[in-house]
Structure formats: C-alpha cells, structure tokens
Amino acid sequence: MLFKISLSNIRRSFRDYTIYFFTLVIGISVFYVFNAIGTQAAYMTVTKSRSDIIALLKDLLSGVSVFVSIVLGLLIVYASRFLMKRRKREFAIYLTLGMSKGTISLLLLLETLLIGMGSLAAGLIAGVGLSQLMSALVANLFEADMSAYRFTLSGEAVVKTILCFGITYLVVMLFNSFTVGKFKLIDLIQSDKKAERLYLKNPVLCGAIFLAACAALGYAYRTVSNGAAYLQPTEFMVTVGVGAVATFLIFWSAAGLLLRLAMAMKPMYFRGLNAFTFRQISSKISTTVVSMTVICLMLFVTICTLSAAFSIRNSMNDNIRSFCPADFELEYAGEHSEEISGEPSGETENGKWLYTDVVKKCDAYDYDITQYFSEYVHFHTYTDSSFTLEKSLGDSFKQIENQYSFIRYDTPEDIVRLSDYNALMQLYGRESLTLENDEFIVVCNFQSMRDIRDATLAKGTAMEILGHTLRSKYDECLDGFIDLTSQPLNAGIFIVPDRIADESYADTDLLIGKYAAQTDEEYAVIEARILKDFDNMRATWAKENDGRRITVSYRLDTKTNIVEATVGLGAIVTFLGLYIGLVFLIACGAILALKELSESVNSLPRYLMLRKIGVEEHDISCSLFVQIGIFFLLPLLLACLHSVFGMKFGMYMLEMFGTSKLTESVLITSLMILLIYGGYFLITYLSSKTIIKGNDSD
C-alpha cells in the first residue's frame, strides 16, 4: 500500500522531480565517467611514462571525487529538503487522515529509495555510455592506440558511484525523517496561507550599500589585478573575503535598486506586464540573496577553473613547438671521483662538480655519441662563484630580496660564450646575437625573473663577469633559452664575448642535437639506441674506475620525454578542470532551476488571475522569460565580471605555462556554460510555462 502511494506520489509530482532527477542523473554519470577513466586507459596501448601519468591522474581524480561527492551530496540534501517544503499540504492531509509520523517517514524513505535507485540506474547507464565517448578523448589526449579498445565497464567506478551516492541518499533519508518528526499539523495546514510580506527597502540605504559594495569590489579587483606579484597569502584571503561579502551586498541592494530604477521610468514601468515582471524579479532576488551569492561565486570558480585548464592545455601544446626545437639534450654537469675508502662527500674539494667533456670521454671509449645526429651543438657553460644572482642584481638586490624572499640569491649565474649561443640558435632556427668586446646580453623568458632583471639592467650598471668589467648591451633582457623545455622557464643566462671566456671557469657540458631520422620509425629506433648506448657507456665507466668511486651528475632530456610529460600534465589539468567545472555548473543550474520552479508554482494563482483579466498568453510567456532570464543572468553576469579580474590574477599564476590561447579557452568555457547553464535555463523556462498554464479544474 505504502509502496503504491510513494510510486503514485512520484508520478504525480513528476514536474517537480524532473529537474531533481535530471540533476541526479547528470551528477551520477559525471561521477562515473571520471572515475572510470583509469580503468579505460588500462585497455589502451600507451608508453610506460604515460601509464605512470594515467595512474597519477587516477589518484588525483579519486581525491577530487571526495570533494565532488560532498558538493553533490549537499546539492541533493538541499534539493530534497526543498521538495519536502513544497509538499507540506500533502503531509497535512496524511496527518489529518490519521497516518502516523512514522508512516510518513517510511513513505518518504520509500520515495527516496525509488528515486535513488532509479537515478542510480539511469545515471550509471548514461555514465557508461558517456564514458565510451570519454575514452575517445582520453585516447586523443594520451595519443593512445585505440585499435585494442573495446567496450568497457569499470566495476571499480560502479562500486564507487553506488557507495558514494548510497551514503548521500542515506543522509537524505535520515534528514527527511528528522524533518517529519518536527512537523506541527497547524503549520502544515496553514503553510500556503502564509501572507507574503514585501517591503520596499529604503532606497537611500539601498543606494548607499550598493555604492559601498561597488567600492569594495573595486578595491578587491584592483588588489588582485595590479599587485598580484606582491600579494601575501593572508592579503589574498582578505581580498577574496571582501569580494564575497561585496557580492552578497550587491545582490541584497540590487533587488530594491532595480525596482526603484524601473519605477522611476514610468512610461516603461506602466507598459503591459512590466510592473508585474519587475515586482516578481525584485521579490525573487530579495528572497534568494544567499543562494544568488553562492551561485555567483561557484560560477566564478567554474569560469576560472575551466578557462585556466583549457588555457594551460592549449599553450602547453603550443609551447612544445617553440621551446623544444631539437630532439636531444645531454647536460653533463660533471663528475668527481674519490678513493673508495674515503668518506663519500658527493662534492669535490672546491665545492663543485668537476667539468668533464662528455663527447671526449665517450671518444676515449671508442664511442661516437654524435653519430646519430644530423645536426648538433656541443659546448659548455661557465660559472664564476663570485658572480651570483645577488651580484648581478646590484643595487636593487635589497629591495628585491624583500619582495621575493623565496629565491636563492647565492646561485652563480650561468654564462655562455656568444659563438656557442649563436651556433645553438642556428640549430634552433632562431636569430643570432652580436656583441661588442665590453658588452653582455641577458637572455631570459621566465616572466617574473625577467621583470626582476630588467629593473637592474635598465640602470646600465657595469658588472664584473669572469674577471672583466662588462656593460649590458640592452636595457632589458632578450627573449631566449638554451635548455629544451615545455615551458618558458629560463631564469636568465649571460651571453658574453668569446675572448673573456676562460676555460678554468668551465662548468656544465652540453650536447644538443637533432636526430638524423627521416621517418617516425627511424626516429624511434635512433632514440632507443642512443639511450641504450649511453646507459651502457655509464655502466662501463662505473666498472673501469681504477678502484675509485665515480659520481656523475647529468640530465638527459629528449623531445619525446618532454612531450609526454607535457601531454600528461595537460591531460590531468584538463580532466580536473572539466570535472570540477561540470559539477559546479550542474549544482548552480539545479539550485536556480529548483528555486525558479517552486517560485512558479507559488505564482500560479497570479498567472491565472492575469489570464482572467485578459492578459494575452504571449505577454505572459514574455514576462516569464524575462523573469527567469534575469534570475539566471544576474549571477552569471557578476561572475563574469569577477572572472575578468580573477583571470588577471590567474594569468600571473599561470605564467610559467604560458597564456597564449586565452581567448580560445574562454570561448570553449563559454560554450560549456552556455550548454549546461543554458540547458537548465531552457528546461526551467519550459517547465515553468507548463506549470503556470495550470488547470482550470485546480
């Protein structure tokens, strides 16, 4: 019997449950899709380093899932509480008929169970379907071979999803029983007779608070966009707090202010249904200030996360092309040897690695390490232990140290001969430089280091480098780099005239080259061979050590490795961004939709009345469209404004990844918001339209 009632209840209040159910299904399927990525990737043929990245991605997604399930859980509790409120009259009827509160609790329990199982089933089916599409994206991002791919069902993800949502539903059930226990019959019966009190807020107070909120926002915007580099964590938190409070106050005052403004424009206000429309909007906003604020801030986070994620991914792929123009780099920092009996110290007497020419060393073992290259440059850098970052900053050092306490100022600067640098630039296909005898140039592409160095270079102070006094040719750093990287991370290299480079200052040996490969197969063969040869060579050196312990310090990077790391990082960032962004968008859309739908049900008598006095259907639809449109648009607009300044700060943080394709990222983000948020808007509008049609028999 109870089961029958619950089932028919659900069927009857279907229009209320549509959005709830819809949200649950999307939430569950998104949860499944992202948790299933790990399992799916296992079926793809990927390289070792990529499968490591996939494992990392899986761990990260599991971690984020905890957060996501909390967000979704709160959303579900909120939504079910909301639906409960709407059914007070129904409960009143049950109670007057003599049903006990326990039975009502049981009824609700059954309903939650039915909805829960239904949505879990639907969500999982949708999730499994969507995850097959997701596989294509995963394969694309990891450049995996899809030929071995088959339809997958991730048992692990299914269990996780069921567990996660099962717990949430349990909480909802407990919560519902608790609420039922607190019911008083008189409140239930009179629930829809409660007179709605509407106050016009004092316009002067509204105006003052609005201006104050705008000023506070302006302050927050200025702080994050101008002084991003100097912002302390506490200051940052304060700014975020100010922004949040200002957002709340703006929504609080906007309701009254908007109405006042409209009322002042009499010809517009008393035209058609405008007076009604504005009153509706104003009352809606003033009763949902808190939700509007939360939604606005969530949208803000969503926009920033999505744009940042897409931007990182896009510029990374771009960066590879510009910052990794060769195939192979061996950086041989040096080696040192000692008696095996001696205490291992790891460093030589003068505290640095002994410079070793790695090509010569290989030659000594009858191995030509350069044989695979079509082109290569072999050179070394110089360092002068007395020429450190502190020295190169000169007078500005004290001031800069105060701002950036985390930089190590006692590291010796890297110095490269002009002819070596130009040879490398020729290999890279970049422009070469020229220098007079007493000049030097700093090349740097890490933006914040560039700013620091430019301040010093602008003063044109002479510097003591390798025992010579030189002046900077330019009053700023030039764009450039030596190491193969995926990002602009060169913190600064000094290019000096060849004549002053004394071999006693030699520091790190560098071998950078392009493989002599025509096809992808040849490329792979060469790379495998050179890596294997170098490993063998090191093993040989370790054996033939004349009874001494040899410690070597080297770094070997190939374009393949760099690309893989980048692709992996890009994929991780994309997935995390998508995951959080999607869930937040769903939550925002669902809250707004539920609020709006209940608002429509409450306003039904108003619309019926309008219809009775002969207002045309078209006018009513227009009014409804404007009401819902503004309700959805207002938090989005403010969130967009927040994001413009938030992203300015974000750009600073993202600098090392590059921000080249920001416009494109913003476009993709907008498209996603339009799709999901817009989808919620459309569904809300259409369902509201059906609701306010009502039935004359009601």
CB of 201: closest distance to another protein in angstroms? 14
Cα 29 from Cα 127, distance rounded (Å): 4
Q: Which of these segments, 269-277, 382-390, 541-549, 668-676, binds another protein (CB under 8 A)?
A: 269-277
- Residue 501's Cα: distance from chain center in Å? 46
CB of 267: closest distance to another protein in angstroms? 5
Cα 199 from Cα 202, distance rounded (Å): 9
Nearer to another protein (CB atom), residue 230 or residue 270: 270
Nearer to another protein (CB atom), residue 112 or residue 623: 623
Closest Cα partner for 624 from 295, 265, 276, 266? Answer: 276
- List of residues 6+ apart from 285 with CB closer than 8 A: 251, 254, 255, 258, 292, 631, 634
Give the footprint of another protein on residues 657-696 (CB under 8 A).
Answer: 696
- φ/ψ region of 631 (left if φ > 0, alpha if ψ in -120 to 50, else beta) reads alpha
Query: Which of 232, 612, 695, 698 lies at the binding interface for another protein (CB under 8 A)?
Result: 612
- At CB < 8 A and 24+ separation, what contacts does 134-137 make? 134/33, 134/36, 134/37, 134/40, 135/40, 135/44
- Sign of CA pseudo-dihedral 298, 303, 306, 312: negative
Give the footprint of another protein on residues 530-589 (CB under 8 A).
Answer: none
Nearer to another protein (CB atom), residue 246 or residue 610: 610
**Residue 519 token pair:** 């096809």
Query: Which of 31, 142, 169, 276 lies at the binding interface for another protein (CB under 8 A)?
Result: 276
Query: Which of 83, 115, 273, 303 lies at the binding interface for another protein (CB under 8 A)?
Result: 273
Query: Which of 616, 629, 653, 690 lies at the binding interface for another protein (CB under 8 A)?
Result: 616
- Determine contact, residues 113/103, Cβ cutoff 8 Å: no
Q: Does 66 bind another protein (CB under 8 A)?
A: no
What 3 state SS string does 51-82 have? Answer: HHHHHHHHHHHHHHHHHHHHHHHHHHHHHHHH
- For β-strands 463-465 and 414-417, DSSP reports them as unpaired
Q: Does 261 bind another protein (CB under 8 A)?
A: no
Cα 375 from Cα 489, distance rounded (Å): 24
CB of 605: closest distance to another protein in angstroms? 8
- List of residues 6+ apart from 57 with CB closer than 8 A: 37, 38, 41, 568, 571, 572, 575
Query: Which of 12, 85, 222, 271 lies at the binding interface for another protein (CB under 8 A)?
Result: 271
CB of 196: closest distance to another protein in angstroms? 6
Q: Does 619 bind another protein (CB under 8 A)?
A: yes
Nearer to another protein (CB atom), residue 129 or residue 605: 605
Query: Which of 11, 197, 408, 543 lies at the binding interface for another protein (CB under 8 A)?
Result: 197
Position 316, amino acid: M
Q: Does 262 bind another protein (CB under 8 A)?
A: no
CB of 617: closest distance to another protein in angstroms? 7
Q: Which of these segments, 235-243, 331-339, 616-624, 627-635, binds another protein (CB under 8 A)?
A: 616-624
Nearer to another protein (CB atom), residue 196 or residue 544: 196
Query: Which of 606, 648, 689, 693 lies at the binding interface for another protein (CB under 8 A)?
Result: 606
Give the footprint of another protein on residues 341-400 (CB under 8 A).
Answer: none
DSSP-derived secondary structure letter, 343: P
Query: Which of 63, 272, 460, 467 lies at the binding interface for another protein (CB under 8 A)?
Result: 272
Q: Which of these segments, 21-29, 47-55, 607-615, 662-670, binds another protein (CB under 8 A)?
A: 607-615
Q: Does 621 bind another protein (CB under 8 A)?
A: no
CB of 202: closest distance to another protein in angstroms? 15
Query: Which of 12, 266, 471, 548 lies at the binding interface for another protein (CB under 8 A)?
Result: 266
Query: Which of 267, 344, 346, 351 lies at the binding interface for another protein (CB under 8 A)?
Result: 267
Sheet-wide strand order for 468-472: 463-465, 468-472, 439-443, 493-496, 414-417, 373-382, 506-515, 328-339, 548-558
- Sign of CA pseudo-dihedral 290, 293, 296, 298: negative
Q: Which of these segments, 47-55, 263-271, 662-670, 673-681, binds another protein (CB under 8 A)?
A: 263-271
Cα 645 from Cα 136, distance rounded (Å): 35
CB of 88: closest distance to another protein in angstroms? 19
**Residue 110 token pair:** 């059954």
**How far is the CA of 439 from the CAs of 461, 497, 595, in angstroms?**
11, 7, 69
- At CB < 8 A and 24+ separation, what contacts does 636-643 make? 636/296, 636/299, 636/673, 636/677, 638/247, 638/250, 638/251, 638/296, 639/296, 639/297, 639/299, 639/300, 639/302, 639/303, 640/303, 642/243, 642/247, 642/296, 642/297, 642/300, 643/300, 643/303, 643/304, 643/307
CB of 37: closest distance to another protein in angstroms? 49
Alpha-carbon dihedral of residues 284, 288, 294, 300, nearest 10 degrees? 20
Q: Which of these segments, 135-143, 265-273, 372-380, 420-428, binds another protein (CB under 8 A)?
A: 265-273
- Helices then strands, each counted (H, E), the chain: 21, 9
Nearer to another protein (CB atom), residue 86 or residue 611: 611
**Residue 84 token pair:** 């409960």
**Residue 533 token pair:** 């040869």
Q: Does 11 bind another protein (CB under 8 A)?
A: no
CB of 188: closest distance to another protein in angstroms? 21
Convert residues 155-194 into a mask of x (bound to another protein by CB under 8 A) and - (unbound). ----------------------------------------
Q: Does 475 bind another protein (CB under 8 A)?
A: no
Nearer to another protein (CB atom), residue 60 or residue 615: 615
Residue with tokens 């807020």: 201
CB of 592: closest distance to another protein in angstroms? 20
Query: Which of 10, 106, 427, 615 lies at the binding interface for another protein (CB under 8 A)?
Result: 615
Nearer to another protein (CB atom), residue 197 or residue 398: 197
- List of residues 6+ apart from 254 with CB closer than 8 A: 210, 285, 634
Q: Which of these segments, 274-282, 444-452, 521-529, 538-546, binds another protein (CB under 8 A)?
A: 274-282
Residue count at the site for another protein (CB under 8 A)? 30
Nearer to another protein (CB atom), residue 262 or residue 324: 262
**Residue 673 token pair:** 């918001």
Residue with tokens 């089933």: 121
Query: Which of 279, 352, 361, 549 lies at the binding interface for another protein (CB under 8 A)?
Result: 279
The contact set with another protein (CB under 8 A) reads: 195-198, 266-267, 270-276, 279-280, 283, 605-606, 609-619, 696
